[in-house]
Amino acid sequence: MPFFRYRARDRQGALVTGTLEADDKAGLEMSLDRMGLIPISVESARKSYAPMFKGIFRQGRVSTQEIILFSRQLATLFGAGVPLTRALISIERQMTNHFFAATVREIREHIEGGGVLSAAIKKYPRIFPELYSSMVEAGEAGGILDEILERLAFMLEKSSENRSKVKSATLYPKIVIFALFAAVIVLMYFVVPRFATLYASFKTALPLPTRMLIAASNFFTAYWYLIALSFAALIIAYKVYTSTESGRLNWDRLALKVPIFGPMIKKSILSRFSRLLGALYKSGLPILQSLDIVSRAVDNKLISNEIIFIETEVRAGKPLSELMASSRHFPPMVVQMVSIGEETGNLDEMLEKAAQYYDQEVDSSIRNLTTALEPILLSFLFGMVLFLALAIFLPMWDMVKLVRG
């Protein structure tokens, strides 16, 4: 079918433009009328593949704060009764990020073509995660899109806040590790080779730490590019491995077992699980559909598979709290909250309380992160300094002994 470019006005008089596919101009005008638009002009337009190539080569980045602002603005306008296309036009005009503005325009054009917001958002997974499109779809189904957008904005804010706290808490360890690696590179490339030349004139065997340090320095100086390639290969191997089903499962299982960070990651996942399941259930979605959405939003394959298993068993008629109690991934506190919620009919409220509890636990873990990492860093630094000191000064002490002897 041919494409037509149109200009029209909605019921409030706002100008709307776009491109639609139709049999003829009369068919397009009928489609516009069904969309609540009054056509001003309609002209033929060849189907262009330029937007496709534009999407491939266009560079841009959308920050979490911009997505939060977009969600709040759209929730406010839509909740006030403004039509969705007109709300998107208003938001687009206020945007300073041209890449995001172009994306919003393409979303609006998709809706003008008869699509829905959730389907349009799914076309941009690099901007809107799967959780976002799934919750928007749930909001459309339940007729509470404005409430869902507000909850999405809140969850994104909480996630962004936690990431900022983790970055602040790990800033000191990052600086220490960076300084240590910089010092090691300088030693290996400039200092140790000079000591190696000096020690080569010695007639005695060098101590083991010195031989190890000189060998490491020689390898680093001669094959530094192999070290760089090895790091690049490790990053590529990680990307490839975690892109597979089994690789992602094993990596996520390992992440939960890492000391210090593992418990914090699990608390963050439990907070997201509780808050999201409570929000979806409160929105009127069936528990099975809510569990399906949550399983795709927890960002951990191991726990996601557990939620999918629970969903299957709930479908068979088993209580949610009983299934969670049999899982090793859900602590007793969450299970008790869910059990009380099922008994009283206030499951959403109990899940929200569980989410608030784990939010506090995550905040506490983040505050104690620097304190927990300091002994590890100090031990590592002490070991490195001790090894370097022994490697460099032991031969000198041996020489002093030979001279005195």
pTM: 0.68
Picking from 115, 155, 105, the residue whose alpha carbon sits closest to that of residue 135 is: 155
With 90 as the cut, is the pLDDT of residue 240 above it?
A: yes
* CA of residue 357 relative to chain centroid, distance: 22
Picking from 315, 275, 314, 324, the residue whose alpha carbon sits closest to that of residue 297 is: 275
Question: What percent of the chain has pLDDT above 70?
Answer: 88
Segment 46-101, tens digit of pLDDT: 544 444 444 434 446 888 889 999 998 998 988 888 888 899 998 988 888 889 99
DSSP 201-236: T-SSPPPHHHHHHHHHHHHHHHSHHHHHHHHHHHHH
CA distance 200 to 187: 18
Domain 54-168, CATH among 1.10.3720.10, 3.40.50.2300, 1.20.81.30, 3.30.360.10: 1.20.81.30
Segment 128-159, tens digit of pLDDT: 887 788 778 877 877 778 888 888 888 888 87
With 70 as the cut, is the pLDDT of residue 400 above it?
A: no
Contact 323, 313 (CB under 8 A): yes
CA distance 166 to 109: 39
The ranges assigned to domains in the chain are 3-48, 54-168, 261-367
The enclosing H or E element of 358 equals: helix 347-367
**Three-state SS letters, 83-114:** CHHHHHHHHHHHCCCHHHHHHHHHHHHHHHCC
**Beta-bridge partners for 6:** 18, 42
User: DSSP code of 7?
Assistant: E
Domains 54-168 and 261-367 fall in the same CATH topology: yes
Of 98-102, 196-200, 339-343, give the lowest mean pLDDT range. 196-200
DSSP 106-148: HHHHHHHTT--HHHHHTT-TTTS-HHHHHHHHHHHHHT-HHHH
Domain 261-367, CATH homologous superfamily name and number:
Type II secretion system (T2SS), domain F (1.20.81.30)
